[in-house]
């Protein structure tokens, strides 16, 4: 078991009606607020009105229209508002894109140069505005982690920003706020959760405890995602997915593992950065193809373990079990109606060389579970067509 430091400083308020705690949570951080949200979803489902009611009597400004795969332009606009109005606390209401954009604003307010330069140069975040998050989509775990992923449409890049200062102070997680998430986003978000678990499970060394924790959360997603798609207002399904998403990607489950770079995420970020595709859909296409590409005598034992523990595969031969596990994963992807080829997303191979070179360089793919070079990534991308 590897050494680790572990601190999740986010105060999580989970369950029905927890929005009633929003005002108190915000006031603890400040009284001048920037409310950040995406398109129309929170207006349509009534959450916007509930939030506004909570903010009565407080001074607040709004940044709306944050897009999926959040763009650096929204970050810049948010920074400008914060500086001009002397904002003291950021309130993100939305999915991962809104929360990520808010994190970049929180750090960017204190950065002297341009916000994209801050991200591309991996500048250390020395100070950040406090963030309160109201999560509306079970997927990224951004509501209780230290990372953000931001796109620059001018360069086609999608890059990460990390700092312990970017953990939200408080996260309100009411599964009812996810009832209106469309089937496509429910499926993509669920696959993203599964992918976070897989990226930390396929590692050079894991622990007994971590394996059991991760496997149980994987099984939770596999069980409840189809239910949430069939019955969008099934509270238990939405609740299980929401909590699974929060704990899947903030080290809670994987402390002690020898963690390495995320392979499929490393490749996917360039795709959604360049083609504005949905993160979880890209992962659903890439993951089985990545598994088939890296399946070897070295990896078959671990893949067989996954197949038996998560999918109930009974084959005794490791290579056979590993292959059956990949097939089971593909069947699950079908049950969620997720795309299985890039062609379905309108992606052709014209930029694969460039994307692969960028992914290898920026996402440290040489330090992945199975180290990947540019040729490997191109081959995986081609298999996805």
Residues at the contact surface with ligand NZQ, assessed by CB under 6 A: 38-41, 45, 68-69, 94-98, 100, 136-137, 139-142, 145, 147-149, 177-178, 180-181, 185, 189, 192, 249, 265, 272, 279
Interface stretch with Zn ion, choices 107-115, 187-195, 316-324, 361-369 (CB under 5 A): 187-195
Q: Which does 305 bind (CB under 5 to 8 A by kind): Zn ion, ligand NZQ, none?
A: none
Cβ at position 199, least distance to Zn ion in Å? 8
Q: Which does 147 bind (CB under 5 to 8 A by kind): Zn ion, ligand NZQ, none?
A: ligand NZQ
Interface stretch with Zn ion, choices 81-89, 150-158, 184-192, 286-294 (CB under 5 A): 184-192
Q: Does 268 bind Zn ion (CB under 5 A)?
A: no
Q: Decide: residue 201, CB within 10 A, 0-12 exposed, 13-18 middle, 19+ buried.
A: buried
Query: Which of the 8 DSSP states describes residue 35?
Result: E
Q: Which does 41 bind (CB under 5 to 8 A by kind): Zn ion, ligand NZQ, none?
A: ligand NZQ
Longest dimension (CA), the chain: 66
Q: Based on CB atoms, which residue is closest to ligand NZQ, 24 or 46?
A: 46
DSSP three-state, residue 41: helix
Q: Does 192 bind Zn ion (CB under 5 A)?
A: yes
Distance CA 306, CA 283 (A): 18
Q: Which does 68 bind (CB under 5 to 8 A by kind): Zn ion, ligand NZQ, none?
A: ligand NZQ
Cβ at position 280, least distance to Zn ion in Å? 7
What DSSP assignment string belongs to 126-165?
-----EEEEE-SSSS-GGGSSEEEEEETTTTEEEEEE-GG
Q: Based on CB atoms, which residue is closest to ligand NZQ, 183 or 205?
A: 183
Among 296, 267, 259, 260, smallest CA distance to 373 is for 267
Among 229, 138, 145, smallest CA distance to 178 is for 138
Interface stretch with Zn ion, choices 11-19, 54-62, 190-198, 325-333 (CB under 5 A): 190-198
Q: Which does 363 bind (CB under 5 to 8 A by kind): ligand NZQ, Zn ion, none?
A: none
Q: Based on CB atoms, which residue is closest to ligand NZQ, 52 or 83?
A: 52
Q: Which does 148 bind (CB under 5 to 8 A by kind): ligand NZQ, Zn ion, none?
A: ligand NZQ
Cβ at position 25, least distance to ligand NZQ in Å? 19
Cβ at position 279, least distance to Zn ion in Å? 6
Q: Decide: residue 124, CB within 10 A, 0-12 exposed, 13-18 middle, 19+ buried.
A: exposed
Distance CA 311, CA 330 (A): 11
Q: Based on CB atoms, which residue is closest to ligand NZQ, 98 or 384?
A: 98
* Edge-to-edge strands, sheet with 32-37: 11-14, 170-173, 131-135, 89-94, 32-37, 59-63
Task: List CB contacts of 156: < 8 A, sequence separation 6 or more.
Answer: 270, 273, 274
For residue 299, the number of C-alpha atoms closer than 13 Å in the C-beta half-sphere is 19
């Amino acid at each position: 078991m590897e050494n680790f430091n572990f601190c999740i400083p986010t105060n999580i308020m989970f369950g029905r009606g927890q929005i009633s705690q929003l005002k108190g949570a915000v006031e603890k951080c400040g009284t001048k607020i920037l409310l950040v949200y995406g398109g129309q979803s929170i207006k349509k489902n009534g959450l916007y009105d509930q939030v506004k009611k909570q903010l009565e009597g407080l001074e607040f400004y709004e940044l709306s229209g944050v897009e999926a795969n959040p763009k650096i332009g929204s970050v810049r606009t948010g920074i400008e508002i914060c500086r001009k109005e002397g904002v003291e606390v950021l309130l993100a209401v939305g999915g991962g894109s809104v929360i990520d954009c808010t994190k970049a604003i929180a750090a960017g307010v204190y950065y002297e140069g341009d916000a994209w330069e801050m991200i591309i140069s991996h500048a250390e975040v020395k100070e950040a505005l406090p963030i309160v998050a109201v999560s509306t989509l079970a997927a990224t775990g951004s509501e209780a982690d230290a990372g953000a992923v931001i796109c620059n449409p001018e360069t086609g890049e999608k890059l990460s920003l990390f700092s312990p200062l970017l953990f939200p102070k408080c996260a309100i997680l009411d599964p009812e706020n996810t009832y209106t998430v469309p089937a496509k986003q429910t499926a993509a978000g669920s696959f993203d959760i599964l992918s976070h678990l897989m990226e930390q499970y396929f590692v050079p060394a894991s622990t007994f405890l971590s394996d059991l924790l991760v496997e149980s959360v994987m099984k939770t997603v596999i069980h409840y995602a189809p239910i949430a798609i069939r019955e969008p207002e099934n509270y238990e399904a939405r609740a299980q997915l929401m909590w699974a998403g929060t704990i899947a990607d903030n080290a809670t489950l994987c402390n002690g593992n020898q963690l390495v770079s995320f392979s499929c995420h490393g490749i996917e970020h360039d795709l959604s950065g360049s083609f504005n595709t949905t993160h979880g859909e890209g992962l659903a296409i890439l993951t089985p193809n990545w598994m088939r590409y890296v399946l070897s005598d070295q990896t078959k034992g671990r893949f067989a373990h996954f197949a038996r523990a998560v999918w109930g595969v009974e084959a005794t031969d490791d290579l056979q079990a590993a292959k059956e596990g990949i097939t089971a994963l593909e069947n699950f992807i079908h049950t969620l109606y997720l795309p299985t080829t890039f062609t379905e997303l309108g992606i052709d191979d014209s930029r694969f060389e460039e994307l692969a070179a960028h992914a290898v360089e920026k996402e440290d793919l040489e330090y992945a579970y199975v180290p990947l070079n540019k040729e490997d990534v191109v081959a995986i991308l081609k298999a996805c067509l």
